[in-house]
Structure 1
Amino acid sequence: MSAPKTGRLRDFYIKEALTYMEQNFQNDISVEDIAATCGLNRSYFGKIFKEALGKTPQEFLLNYRMIKAAELLKLTGLTIGDISNAVGYANQLHFSRAFKNMYGMAPREWRNQNRVMIQT
């Protein structure tokens, strides 16, 4: 009888964590910050997060930031530096490296291949 309750509690924590990340990804947040939002220690939080989603919290946050960056590259005329800041990177070089690791090309190159032309 405790297993379903435990599963629901875990799902609650994961939902809280995802909401926090979605609302704060542009800030300098850590796994400790996310775990604290759920009232959990970092180690336990990391364990249940990976069990539930198959990714560590760090991997999920990085992936989420890169998806948001790709959206901004595709749909806006913001500079790479502005996009870097908008998705939580204080250092544009670190952002560009992370983006290239995920998409296989630099942000500018990705933008040139994927840009949506906006009619005015």
Structure 2
Amino acid sequence: MVHSIFPTSSQMAAVFRFIEENYRQPITLCDIAQAIYLLQKTEQTIGQIAESIGYQDICHFSRYFRQFYGTSPQAWRNEHLCCVAAS
């Protein structure tokens, strides 16, 4: 049996999944931290915030935000602005 020196397509897919899962997360954390700041300190729309931190698709941004905070950006803003206004 001849062994190829090149990885199979499934091996390459596993490598790309690993890279995406492990190297995108720090960038996403920085993005989300910037989004939190903008949600608190500005009146920009969610779409404007998403665009300003590099997301062209608001759904993609909202998905990442929900992954970290368990709620949508708008719900997070509403909850935290309510608490700030009550203080």
Q: TM-score, normalised by structure 1?
A: 0.49
Identity %: 34
Q: CA deviation at 1:57?
A: 3.0
Gaps of 5+ in 2: 1-18
In the alignment of these two chains, the number of paired residues is 64
Candidates 73, 78, 81, aligned match of 1:107: 73
CA distance in 1, matches of 2:51, 2:30: 14
The runs of at least 4 consecutive aligned structure 1 residues that moved more than 4 Å come to: none
Determine if the alignment matches structure 1 residue 68 to structure 2 residue 34. yes
CA distance in 1, matches of 2:69, 2:43: 19
Secondary structure at the residue paired with 1:90? coil
Aligned to 1:86: 52
Q: TM-score, normalised by structure 2?
A: 0.67
Gaps of 5+ in 1: 1-45, 47-54
Aligned to 1:23: none
